[in-house]
Amino acid sequence: MNDPVIKVRALETRFGDNVVHQGLDLDVHRGEILGVIGGSGTGKSVLLRQIVGLLEPSAGEIEVLGEPVRDTSPEAFVRLRRRWGVMFQGGALFSSLSVRENVEAPMREQMDLPEDLRRTLAAIKVRMVGLPENAMNKPPSALSGGMRKRAGFARAIALDPEIVFLDEPTAGLDPIGAAALDSLVAQLRDALGLTVFLVTHDLDTLHAICDRVAVLAEGRVLATGTLAELRELQHPWLQEYLGGPRGRAAIGAG
């Protein structure tokens, strides 16, 4: 296995008296789609936000692409941030901007590009995620839920990142829309050579596209592996999550 592109060591997260993470270690390897699962309150989205520098952990070390996320200069962090993209829950699009303007937003913020080139690059990204050309100038409110997710994904890949972070990408979608988005993530991972860090509760997503799954429980990463490997573990939450009818169906068990 190649060296990890994301390395988390001895992470601790506290909000007052509430301990969310304690001694959490995690490696994410280049080119993989890693699914991150866990019960309510285990800090899945918190971990994502800490890795991308939006939340400060109480203790521990985080490296992305060989560079520290904490205790680094603002200039170094800006350079590092250009190498990843993030799609938050629901797409988190700017409601006052069109799809094109949303996709251009990271380019405006982090790159000095002529307007014509920004427009051209945004159009390419929109086509890559399977949105029709007539969606370019529409506001997010005029799009379906699945189209908003695709627009959010287009914005996440606007700067040609090496890593994409996806927070519950299929939440709120019907099964057909969710399967289509899963397929898109896998296709673009292969086409662009992405590494994908994917927080989800969707068993179908885990089965369809994740190379490995990391389980957050008891303040740490309890285990990582394929769904079939994780199903062999005798942890109560994991047995309930994967051992129910939906879990058996996703894994393909009888």
Q: Which tens digit of pLDDT belongs to each residue from 157-206? A: 999 999 999 999 999 999 999 999 999 999 999 999 999 999 999 999 99
The verdict on residue 54 lying in a domain is: yes
Assess if residue 116 is contained within a domain.
yes
Closest CA to 166 of 224, 221, 132, 209: 209
Q: Tell me, yes or no, whether 100 and 132 share the same domain.
A: yes
DSSP conformational letter for 56: -
Share in percent of the chain as helix, strand, coil (round to 5) = 40, 25, 35
One-letter identity of residue 212: R
> Which domain covers residue 120, as residue numbers?
95-160
Query: What pLDDT does 84 receive?
Result: 96
Predicted pLDDT at 249: 54
As a whole-number percent, the residues of the chain with pLDDT over 90 amount to 78
Q: What is the pLDDT of residue 253?
A: 43
Look at residue 1 and tell me if it is in a domain. no
Q: What is the largest CA-CA distance in the chain?
A: 57
Residue 244 has pLDDT above 80, yes or no: no
Asked if 30 and 141 sit in the same domain, the reply is no
Please state, as a whole number, how many other Cβ atoms lie within 10 Å of the Cβ of residue 75: 8
165 & 245 share domain: yes
Q: CA 55 to CA 74: how far, in whole Å?
A: 15
**206-210, 211-215, 243-247: lowest mean pLDDT where?**
243-247
Tally of domains within the chain: 2
Q: What is the mean pLDDT of the chain?
A: 91
Domain C-terminal end among 160, 180, 212 = 160
- Same domain assignment for residues 240 and 173: yes
Tokens of 178: 């969710």
List, for residues 26-82, the tens digit of each pLDDT value. Answer: 999 999 999 999 998 999 999 999 999 999 999 999 999 999 998 888 889 989 999
Q: Are residues 63 and 118 in the same domain?
A: no
Tokens 């929109």 identify what position?
Answer: 126
CATH number, domain of 224, equals 3.40.50.300
Q: Inform me whether the pLDDT recorded for 246 exceeds 80.
A: no
pLDDT of residue 250: 53
Q: Which residue has the tokens 């179908």?
A: 204
Question: Is residue 90, in this structure, part of any structural domain at all?
Answer: no
Average pLDDT over residues 147-154: 94
